[in-house]
Amino acid sequence: MEPEGPSRALVMSDVAARAGVSHQTVSRVINGHPNVAPRTRERVERAIRELGYRPNTAARALVTGSTRTLGFVAVNINQYGPAQTLVGLERAARAAGYSLGVTVLDEATAEAMRDALDRFTAQSVDAVLALATYDDAVEALHQVHTPLPLVTVQSGGALEEPAVGVDQVAGARLATRHLLDLGHRTVHHVTGPADSKEARDRVEGWRTELAAVGAPAPECLHGDWTPSSGYEAGRRLAARKRAGEDITAVFLANDQMALGLLAALHEEGLEAPCDVSVVGFDDLPEAPYLTPPLTTVRQDFAELGRRAVELVLARLAGRELHLQPVPPVLLIRSSTGPVPVGSTPAGV
């Protein structure tokens, strides 16, 4: 291996010496400046390669004010969605030549947010990406004023500030529409927590789609993302169904709740899709392997990350950019099917 020598930190003038030019010429080559003779450029490039030189980011940051680093703040990275968002963001940032610094807030207070942004400022990150699906986080974000360019990653829809998101409303409509297309008279809905914008958007999509076909909108059941709350909803729905209510299709705001609901239905002797059709949201890795494999809505986190980085880079370049929310896709598996033949009020 040539690169590893006595391992003293390599600097630009080492490269310059080897290529027989000044360090400034090396800098020009590295930064792609136009006025460098092709032969010189080549010599410098070879020296860089041979030495395995990498410019020092700190020195660069000091003079340019840019670190080519993006900061990512999130409150809650435990759920599948946020974790995937992080991965998508990192990948997109790296593809664009940026690094990603991560801060996970312990709590969604303005103080914690302020601290995180301060740290990013001190680190001279070029911009901050904030995950803002919960109202607390959004509020904390708004309370904090920062000179840093900021892009939020959140539920899609009408966005006052620079933001990217997956179109939650469209996803919910897709799910609802699928159920309606199968012949179900209406669709019941189990919501996510009320303080989540995504959860509210999914309610809206569901309601909109029902209204679009003139179907009645039954009252929602309220969950909190956990399988346990889905289980509860399942028990209640099963009881109501046994009492004669016409319940043939349920759309849940996420897959974990669908998992709980499926378990509860099963305990009550009801199976999907023969007795009830079930649709979730998220496409957890487990979703295809539930019994039955779950029909669900997938969000493209890789694309989300790509757009977030694109948006942030555009802002950095002073361009205004308006991105449409990322469209989700419906994955039809086996938990949904046509209306059971003997459904209570059989056809009118």
Which stretch, 52-60, 189-197, 277-285, 326-334, contacts DNA (CB under 7 A)?
Answer: 52-60
Return the one option of DNA, a second copy, none that residue 192 interacts with (CB less than 5 to 8 A, by type).
none
Beta bridge partners of 279: 251, 295
Closest CA to 246 of 183, 291, 295: 183
Q: Which does 37 bind (CB under 5 to 8 A by kind): DNA, a second copy, none?
A: DNA
Nearer to a second copy, 164 or 263 (CB): 263
Stretch that binds a second copy, among 1-9, 198-206, 243-251, 312-320 (CB under 8 A): 1-9
Give the residue among 198, 247, 202, 188 at the shortest CA–CA distance from 85. 198
Q: What is the C-alpha to C-alpha distance for residues 230 and 296, in angstroms, rounded to an integer? A: 15
Q: How far apart are CA 220 and CA 251, in angstroms?
A: 10
Segment near DNA (CB under 7 A), from 16-24, 178-186, 216-224, 231-239?
A: 16-24
- Write out the DSSP string of 50-102: HHT----HHHHHHHHS--SEEEEEES---SHHHHHHHHHHHHHHHHTT-EEEE
User: Out of a second copy, DNA, none, which partner does residue 23 contact, by CB within 5 to 8 A per kind?
Assistant: DNA
The structure tokens 């929602």 sit at 220
Q: For residue 227, report the phi and psi dihedrals to the nearest 5 degrees.
A: -55, -35
Question: Which region among 28-36, 210-218, 280-288, 292-300 touches DNA (by CB under 7 A)?
Answer: 28-36
Question: Residue 13 binds which one of DNA, a second copy, none, with CB within 5 to 8 A depending on kind?
Answer: DNA
Q: Which stretch binds DNA (CB under 7 A): 33-41, 210-218, 248-256, 304-312?
A: 33-41
Q: Does 267 bind a second copy (CB under 8 A)?
A: yes
H or E element in which residue 168 lies? helix 168-181
Whether the CB-CB separation of 138 and 154 falls below 8 Å is answered with yes
Among 25, 103, 296, 335, binds DNA (CB under 7 A): 25
What are the strands, taking DSSP E only, across 119-264? Answer: 127-131, 150-153, 163-164, 188-191, 221-222, 249-252
For residue 324, the partner it binds in DNA, a second copy, none, with Cβ less than 5 to 8 A by kind, is: none
- The SS3 of residue 213 is coil
Q: Which of 102, 182, 316, 329 binds a second copy (CB under 8 A)?
A: 102
Interface residue with a second copy among 18, 23, 41, 91 (CB under 8 A) is 91
Output phi, psi for 102, to 5 deg. -120, 135
Binding residues for a second copy, rule: CB under 8 A, are 1, 4, 7, 52, 54-59, 61-62, 67, 69, 77-78, 83-84, 86-87, 90-91, 94, 99-104, 106, 118-119, 121-124, 145, 147, 226-228, 230-231, 256, 259-260, 263, 266-267, 285-286, 288-291
Binding residues for DNA, rule: CB under 7 A, are 9, 11-13, 20-28, 30-31, 34-37, 39-41, 55-56, 59-60, 62-64
